[in-house]
Each structure stands twice: as structure tokens, then as C-alpha cells.
Chains A and B, each alone.
Chain A
Amino acid sequence: MVAATSQKSISLTLRVWRQAGPSAPGKFVDYPAKNLNPNMSFLEMLDVVNDELVRKGEEPIAFAHDCREGICGTCSLSINGKPHGPGRGIATCQTYVRSFNDGDIVVVEPFRAKAFPLVKDLIIDRSALDKIQAAGGFISVRTGAAPDANAIPIPKADADLAMDAASCIQCGACVAACKNASAMLFVAAKVSQLGLLPQGQPERDRRVLAMVNTMDEMGFGSCTNQYECSAACPKLISHDFIARMNRDYLKASFRSVFKPAPAVTSGGGA
């Protein structure tokens, strides 16, 4: 039985946050979304609603999206109060209409955090995360200066754990899910990935200090160990990495008292 194609259609009421610009007042507006194919993705439903708005001469709902396969990290909707919606371990773009019941009212909002100022409707500005990366989320290696790739063996377990951390898609759901709007899961993932690898050791101290300090400057809160971040993470990145980062940060802080790290925001190089 090809079950999925024989299901009945679903009709929803979308209660969508509309806000013309950063300083304009925002409000919820209801839009009917009728006779939807249950196998339609949530974003495809918004496409259809938008096309109808355009035909009526209204401005479509602005929302961020790109790859629509859960890897680029662009989509960023809170659906019924949950970042990325009801599913676990998926991004907004991997949410399907069949996750809802016929007749449901579905509340659609942007990710909300002080460090993510609203741009328009459902679109937010997440450039604070790029600034954290620019402060230290790298290994300083000039192109062409690398030794042979097999010169330094890395235990498989370390490489695998680094890969778990590296699967972060920088969507900001961890921040939106946290009552403190903390970015610690995001920062911890990057700090852990590079800190687990031998190539990341020379800059380990300055990296964690720079990234954590920049995170604080950008207006993100701190972690109070509720782990909403991991629960909302589309890649299910573990909050264990936060403990790892805190340990690194503490050690680096002590060490930097005796041997101050160089100016952290200069990435080195030319």
C-alpha cells in the first residue's frame, strides 16, 4: 500500500509573526492554509501561502531558507514555541504537514534572542555567530604549509567525537531554545572539535578564551544546565561538549594568568 499518497488533505490556520522591520511593531496574523497534501514540507506550505498572498496583492511572509535538506542551517522558525518545530533531530525544512492535525492552529515565530535582532517577519540576524567564529574558531594554517595528511595519526574515537561536534549547522536553535539565550552549545561544539584534534592544540587556550569572551560581548547569556539546547538541536549535539568547553576555559584562564595569551582577535597570518 502506498499509504502516504492516499491520506486525506489537511487544513491549518497559521498564526504568523509579521513585522515590517527591526523598529516596526510586530503582530500575529492568521492565514488559512487549506487542503494541504500531508507530504508537503512546512516550508512548501509557506511557499503556497505566499503565492496566494502575492496574487491578492499582499506582501508575502519573509522567511529564511535555502538547502531544504537540513544541512545549511538557514531555516529558523519556532513552530508552536519549539525551535524547528515538533520533530526531534531535524531542521524546520525537514518538518512536514503530516506532523499536524487537520484544523490545528499553528503558531509560527522567528527564533527569539537578544543577540539575534529581527530583520523582517520571520528573518533574524545571526551574524553574532560569525563574529564568534572570526574571533577564534579556526586553526591558523597557511594554504600550502600543511604536512602530509597522514603524518599525524588521530585515534578513531577522537576523530569520531570531533565529527559529532563538527556536525553543527550554526542555525541558532540552541540559542532560541535556551531561557538564557546562551550560545554555549554552539561555541562548545567548535571548541571541542578543534580541541580534540592534535592540529588544534597550539591555539587551544587562546581559542577558547577568545570565543567565549566574544560570545559574552555579543549579548548571549550563560548556561544554567537545563539542556534545552541539545533537545532542540537539529543535529542532536550533546551538551557534554559544554562541560568540555568549561574545563578548557578554566584551564586556559589559569594558564593565561602566568603566561598571557596574545591579542586574541588577531587571527595571525599576513
Chain B
Amino acid sequence: MAQLDSRIPPGPLADKWRTHKANIRLVNPANKRKYEVIVVGAGLAGSSAAATLAELGYKVKCFVYHDSPRRAHSIAAQGGINAAKNYQNDGDSVYRLFYDTIKGGDYRAREANVHRLAEVSVNIIDQCVAQGVPFAREYGGLLANRSFGGAQVSRTFYARGQTGQQLLLGAYSALMRMVGNGGVQLFPNSEMLDLVIVDGQAKGIVVRNLITGEISRHAADAVILATGGYGNVFNLSTYARQSNATAIWRAYKRGACFANPCYTQIHPTCIPVTGDYQSKLTLMSESLRNDGRIWVPKKAEDRLKDPNTIPESDRDYYLERIYPSFGNLAPRDIASRAAKRVCDEGRGVGESGLGVYLDFSDAIKRLGEAGVAERYGNLFDIYHEITNENAYKVPMRIYPAVHYTMGGLWVDYNLMSNIPGLFVLGEANFSDHGANRLGASALMQGLADGYFVIPYTIGDYLATQKPGSRPSADAVEFKAAEQNVVGMTKRLLDTKGTEPVSHFHKRLGKIMWEGCGMARTEASLKKALQEIPKLREEFWANVRVPGSEKTLNQSLEQAGRVADFLELGELMCLDALTREESCGGHFREEHQYPDGECKRDDEKFAHVAAWEFQGEGKAPLRNVEPLNYEFVKMSVRNYK
């Protein structure tokens, strides 16, 4: 059984991080260059960590499967980044940001981690501005803010609708500076396929070069995974197509605990699926709900009718009806589940029946078409580009889609997993968002982990490792890991079945969406738990991966990732089945209040579930880390 010591420092909440920094071990400057650190992934968390550790003098190797670190999917984040700067003089503070984030996570995150996140948020904005990130500004030249969901203050910094892009380019520029001066050795087109453990500690990785197919072994004194989330287990999501769970999943199979895998975020306003060929779901900013009204026909037989011919009396503005005080601005999880319910009743619109109308005709009457265009013109353009529909004339169709995963590898306060020497940052870990993430908090966490947490906490581990003591990449453990990778590659190529990888990924996505999606029941989860192993068997008997392992082979890359999703999906369902309560993004239909709100069970489930691999074909072990709320009272999350 894994040892799960969260290592939360003692003392008052606001002093914990400061005290911890003063007490943890340091590595002296002359010794830093003797340590090698591997960073896998170069999104916000990975780039910022690699750049900062190299600035400190560590020798850093950074591995990315993209052709350039700047392509990581952090680049697609639109809205903004939260920070408790209180530049608006509207009463914001570190405590308020902490409290909003803890409450937003439905009391399933650690108090100490979240408070630290709120503390360092202010440093992130300073750092990014100094790097040349062109945040939005007011005419006086000072930084502008906007408000975002789940908060009553304006604390979100933004760069048009491309905040993630600009923050990533800032981190990328810091990374490339260190690549240019030799501080970081960059390995693009390189996918991590195994983690190497020597004497119980993470000491290296096995990598496949995606261009040449070459497999190589890399040793280090510590390994950092910053490889993002696993939402593509659902096949269709707002993630990039290449986003995958392989790095964290293979670390799990080497002993790293996977915490709260069932916590997934479904965003309510995305463009719906149009056909079986679809590869991607696109987010439409939530801000549209400020002026748009959401409805479906009252009668199922009207669902394919031209919406403009359906009279007012035959429309069901269901959010306004069910949640009169919040109406169309009901919280994300509520709005998503309500859309699912009306579609399940057969009233969903569009050919697939999985869509609801977001109607601007009232807003156009009130503000004029020009007024609506001024507020949302770019979004109407994107919508038109994708659907070829004019949302000024016909209501938009939207539907919820998978957007983020709050679960991930278990880490302690130092961001170290239960495997000594293995650190996990950003969306890949589980630490700060509990059961639900608030808008504009993902960018904050990625950069907090990389710029301001790991540079301190990694020293606490490295100081226990003798300089120069790292094993050789020719050690037996490395060769065994390489053989494991070679074996799996061969197995995929040798199966020589009849169906392409996408066939299995689509079917897995459907099982996951139906069984472990927006609303889960004991029955739906049990059904999924029966179907997934069968699909996995079918995959290994009938997948066809053409080509060779010695060249660029996109089918092979995809096959390995989907093979991992076929295992991870099962763990997610198991976690969701075991957590017999509703919290945040995890909604068990059996556990709800009469108004449809999540009903937590704090007595039984105020804990982190950290799953531990026990071997192929064996049931994983469910470890528990209790969540002790010392400073905040757990209460029913209420936004009414």
C-alpha cells in the first residue's frame, strides 16, 4: 500500500508556504549544475518549470511530442488568468481567491495547496508582464481586468480571447532563452513511453523519437511530468487531438497513484457534434449566456422544425423555468446537466438531437444587430465559420463538451508523487481544483507550479541525493523499460487486424460519455465497466496499425495512446462508482437535492481517492488521503 503523506506544513494557513520555504532543504549553487532534471511536456507548467530550473543552474532536458514547445494545448485557452492583485479596488484579496477556489472545487481540494496558489498568483502577473506578455490595458496604461464565473470581484487578466497563447509564448520565450544558452537541452518530437524506477525512485524515462522511430533512454536525478489532462479518453472534447494520458498512465503503471480520476469538467457552451467523422469540439465563450436565451421546443416533434417558426408558447426556456433566480447564467455544471436532461427527453435540436438553442433574437430586439455584434461579433464569426449558420438570423445550437480533468497523479505539498523523485505539475496532477475548476484558474495553476513552486520544492528532494549518484542509462532497469516499450510497439504492429485505431477510440468515447459523462448512475457505470474490458480485448485482437516502428508513424502513436485510454477509462468508471456522492463535476444521479444540486457526503467521502496499480488484470487498490478542513467550513455550495 502506497504511503500518502501530504506533507502539509504546520501553522496558520497564511504562513504555511513561507514557513515551508524557510525550512526545506536547499542545493548550493555550485552543486546545482551537477544535477540533471528531466521535464516532460512544455505547456505552461512544463515550459515555466524547465526555464526556471535552468536559470537556477540545474541541467535540464525537456521532452515534447510536438515539433515545437509552443504548440502545447495551453495555447488554446481563451478567457484569462486569475490573480489576487486587487487592482480594481473591489475588495479582492489572497484569502478571497483562496476561498472562491476551495468553494468552486466543492470542498474536495487541499486548503494548504489552494492558499499557496492564491498567494503566488500575484507574482505570476508580474513575471508575465516583465516577459512582454501583452495583457489588455486601460487608457491610463494600467492593466485591465474582467470578471469571471464563480467570483464577485474582477480579478481576471486577459489578452483578448488568446490569454493561453500569450502566456504560453511568454513561458516559451523564457524556455528558448535557456535553450539558446545551453541551460536546457530540448528534445522535440519525442514522446515519453515509460518511466524508469531505480531503487524505488524515479530516475529516468524511455522516449520514442516520432520522426526516426528511435527509442532512447535518459537518466536524471529527478523527473517532472507536466503532460496535461486526459479528457481525450472521451474521444470528442475541446482538447487538441494529440493530447493524451500516456506519460501519466505509464507512470501509474510504475507505481504512481492516480487521484480522483472521475473528476472531469464538462463545459456547457460548445458547438454540438454534427457527424460520426467529427474530430473536435469547439468552445463558444460562456459570456454569450449574458445575452442569449437557452431553449428547446416543448414538444419533441418540433425538434427538427425551423426554430423561427416555433411560436413562443411552444418553447421551453428551461433554465429560466427551473432556476428563476440565475436563469441562463446558472453555474456551468447545472447548465450542462439541464441540457442533457432535455435532450434525453427527446427534445434536443439539430440532426443528432444533441443540442439546445442559444437564441439572441430578444437581445437583437433590445440592442440591435450592431449592438450584439459589438459584444460578440468574433464569436458569431467563429460559429459561422464552423457551422455555416448565421446566428443573427437562426439561434445558435450548443451542447456541453468535455473540457478539463481535475483528477491526475497524486502529489504531496512539494508536488512530488508517491514515487520519490517523480514530480507532477499542471493539469497532470490532481492538486488544486478539487472536484470542479473555476474559469481562469487553469492557467494560474500551470504557471504557479512551474515558476513558483517546483523551483523551491525540487531542492528538498535533490538535497537528499548525492551529486553524481544518478544511475547510468545503461543500467538494467533502463534496459528493462526499453524492452517493455519495444514489446508493446511490436504487439501493436503485429496485431494486424482490420479496424483503424480511430474505430476503437470513437467507441470508447461513446461508452465513457454515456456511462461516466455529465451524469453517472450505478447502473451506467457498471455497464461501462462491462463494456470497456470487452472493447479492450477487441482492440488487441483487431486493431490494424500499418507501417513500421522505424519511421514517422502516426497510426502507431495514436494506437499507443488509445491503448492507454482503454485502461484509464476503466479506472475512471471504477472511481466514479466507488465515490457514492455527488461533488462538482462528479454527479451521481442517486445523490442530489430536490433542486438538482450536488449532494456531497462529507462523512464518507471528504477524502482524496488515490488508486494504486496492482498488476495487469488485478483490481487496483484504493488508497485514501483524508481532507482536513481546518480553516474553512465545508458547506453546501450555493450560488443562488
Nearest A residue to B181, CB-CB: A267
Partner of B160, one of A38, A148, A163, A169: A163
Q: Is B68's CB under 8 angstroms from A126's CB?
A: yes
Interface flags, A251-270, vs B, CB<8A=1, else 0: 00000000000000111111
**Docked CA distance A53–B547 (Å):** 12
Q: Is A269's CB under 8 angstroms from B159's CB?
A: no
Point out which of B51, B70, B123, B451 has the most chain A C-beta atoms below 10 A from its C-beta: B70
Q: Is B500's CB under 8 angstroms from A3's CB?
A: no
Chain B contacts with A in 300-350, Cβ cutoff 8 A: 304, 306-307, 350
Cβ of A184 under 8 Å from chain B: no
Q: How far is the CB of B587 from chain A (nearest CB, A)?
A: 27
Interface flags, A42-67, vs B, CB<8A=1, else 0: 01110110110111011110101111
Chain B contacts with A in 261-277, Cβ cutoff 8 A: 274-275, 277
Partner of A40, one of B143, B275, B555: B275
Point out which of A38, A98, A142 has the most chain B C-beta atoms below 10 A from its C-beta: A142
Cβ of A120 under 8 Å from chain B: yes
**Docked CA distance A215–B140 (Å):** 37
Cβ of B298 under 8 Å from chain A: no
Q: How far is the CB of B357 from chain A (nearest CB, A)?
A: 11
Point out which of B162, B241, B282, B502 has the most chain A C-beta atoms below 10 A from its C-beta: B241
Cβ of A23 under 8 Å from chain B: no
Q: How many residues of A contact B (CB 8 A)?
A: 91
List residues of chain A with CB within 8 A of the CB of B140. 153
Q: Interface residues of A: mostly helix, strand, loop or mixed? A: loop
Chain B contacts with A in 169-214, Cβ cutoff 8 A: 169, 172-174, 176-181, 183, 186, 188, 211
**Docked CA distance A37–B162 (Å):** 30
List residues of chain B with CB within 8 A of the CB of A269. 54-55, 177-178, 181, 183
Q: How far is the CB of A241 from chain B (nearest CB, A)?
A: 14
Q: Is B181's CB under 8 angstroms from A266's CB?
A: yes
Stretch from A69-77, A106-114, A216-224 contacting the other chain: A69-77
List residues of chain B with CB within 8 A of the CB of A149. 85, 125-126, 128-130, 135, 143
List residues of chain B with CB within 8 A of the CB of A64. 67
Known: A50-B500, A71-B76, A120-B551. A138 touches B277 (CB 8 A): no
Chain A contacts with B in 86-128, Cβ cutoff 8 A: 90, 94, 96, 98, 119-120, 123, 125-127
Known: A68-B279, A139-B173, A141-B127. A153 touches B142 (CB 8 A): yes
List residues of chain A with CB within 8 A of the CB of B142. 150, 153
Nearest B residue to A66, CB-CB: B240
Known: A156-B137, A266-B181. A37 touches B54 (CB 8 A): no
Partner of A126, one of B67, B138, B174: B67
Known: A74-B66, A94-B385, A270-B57. A43 touches B129 (CB 8 A): no
Cβ of B554 under 8 Å from chain A: yes
Interface flags, A28-47, vs B, CB<8A=1, else 0: 00000000011111011101
Known: A134-B176, A193-B132. A142 touches B55 (CB 8 A): yes
Cβ of B73 under 8 Å from chain A: yes
Interface flags, A143-173, vs B, CB<8A=1, else 0: 1111111101111100110110011011000
**Docked CA distance A127–B176 (Å):** 12
Q: Is B279's CB under 8 angstroms from A47's CB?
A: yes
Q: Is A130's CB under 8 angstroms from B68's CB?
A: yes
List residues of chain B with CB within 8 A of the CB of A40. 275, 277
Q: How far is the CB of A159 from chain B (nearest CB, A)?
A: 4
List residues of chain A with CB within 8 A of the CB of B3. none
List residues of chain B with CB within 8 A of the CB of A199. 129-132
Listed from nearest, the 7 A-B pairs whose CB atoms lie closest are A153-B141, A146-B130, A134-B180, A267-B177, A138-B173, A267-B181, A54-B500
Q: List 28 A-B contacts (CB under 8 A).
A: A2-B306, A3-B389, A37-B274, A40-B277, A47-B277, A47-B279, A50-B500, A54-B500, A54-B544, A67-B75, A71-B75, A71-B76, A74-B71, A98-B388, A120-B552, A130-B69, A130-B186, A136-B180, A139-B132, A146-B123, A152-B129, A154-B137, A155-B137, A194-B132, A268-B177, A269-B55, A269-B178, A270-B55
Known pairs A5-B350, A47-B277, A74-B67; list 8 more (Cβ under 8 Å). Answer: A54-B544, A54-B555, A120-B552, A150-B85, A150-B87, A159-B137, A166-B169, A269-B54
